[in-house]
Amino acid sequence: MESVEQPMIAEFPESLQNREMIVKVSHVTRIYELGASRVTALRDISLEIPKGVLVALKGRSGSGKTTLLNMIGGLDTPTQGEVELFGIRLSQLDDEAKTELRRQRLGFVFQSFAILPVFSAIENVELMLRIANIQTDRRKLAMRALEIVGLGSWAHHRPWELSGGQQQRVAIARALATRPELIIADEPTGELDSTTGRQIMALFRFIAVKEGITVLMATHDPLIEEYAHMVVDLMDGQIRSIRFPNL
């Protein structure tokens, strides 16, 4: 494959120029080796993400979205290049330190919700606080997170009593409750109808603006153009463009 010229670090609009950059990806390449074959999932990606915005990572299936999210979340390691989170080079951390960084400063949301059916909404959120080793006020913190996502009155319901959109809100509350600096969401609207998907995108935008939490979400849903502050278009493992549609 020919290497196309990639845009350099985006020319940020004025409103973002003095923001702290909480993610810095520098010349990241990820090659998967499968027996004799090699798949270049990411090719020389460089990207900076400012605090408190909703960022969409767009691109068709196979363009490298999940691979890039895994690099930024410290779940996988670049073949070449470096990822910095909050000014920390991930290559300097061992696995244990990366796990701790994830628990304390990141939140994750997946397409499949991944909430536990035996627990109520609030218990699902409290469990994450326990995993993050938060010792006090777990119930209060969990309730506040459920209120942010609009589920205050559903706290004691079990997942099967909730709609798909509500279940995804529980998953978002769980990611929010630890007060992370960055939420990473991989196709969080992939299993939702378009109206519910819109509500989730609007919620992520609200969380970014009102809570100051940066949200990085992968999606191929064109509706994201109406909600994201920053849109990064991936194609064949490269950044094709970086745009700022709603600033």
28: which 2 tokens?
């990241």
Half-sphere exposure of 47 (CA within 13 A, CB side): 30
Identify the burial level of 199 via C-beta atoms within 10 angstroms of its C-beta, where 0-12 means exposed, 13-18 middle and 19 or more buried: middle
Nearer to ligand ADP, 225 or 233 (CB): 233
Nearer to Mg ion, 37 or 61 (CB): 61
Question: Which of 66, 111, 124, 166 contacts Mg ion by CB under 5 A?
Answer: 66
The item of ligand ADP, Mg ion, none sharing an interface with residue 62, based on CB under 5 to 8 Å by kind, is: ligand ADP
The item of Mg ion, ligand ADP, none sharing an interface with residue 133, based on CB under 5 to 8 Å by kind, is: none
Nearer to ligand ADP, 179 or 240 (CB): 240
Q: Which stretch binds Mg ion (CB under 5 A): 61-69, 73-81, 123-131, 175-183?
A: 61-69
Closest CA to 182 of 102, 100, 99: 102
Q: What is the distance between the terminal CA atoms of the chain, rounded to a whole angstrom?
A: 35
The amino acid that residue 159 corresponds to is P
> Would you say how long the chain is, in residues?
247
Distance, CA of 159 to CA of 121 (rounded, Å)? 7
The item of Mg ion, ligand ADP, none sharing an interface with residue 63, based on CB under 5 to 8 Å by kind, is: ligand ADP
- Binding stretches for ligand ADP (CB under 6 A): 32, 34, 39, 41, 59, 61-67
Torsion angle, CA of 130/132/135/138, rounded to 10 degrees? -60
Nearer to ligand ADP, 83 or 142 (CB): 83
70 binds Mg ion (CB under 5 A): no
Give residues in contact with Mg ion (CB under 5 A): 65-66
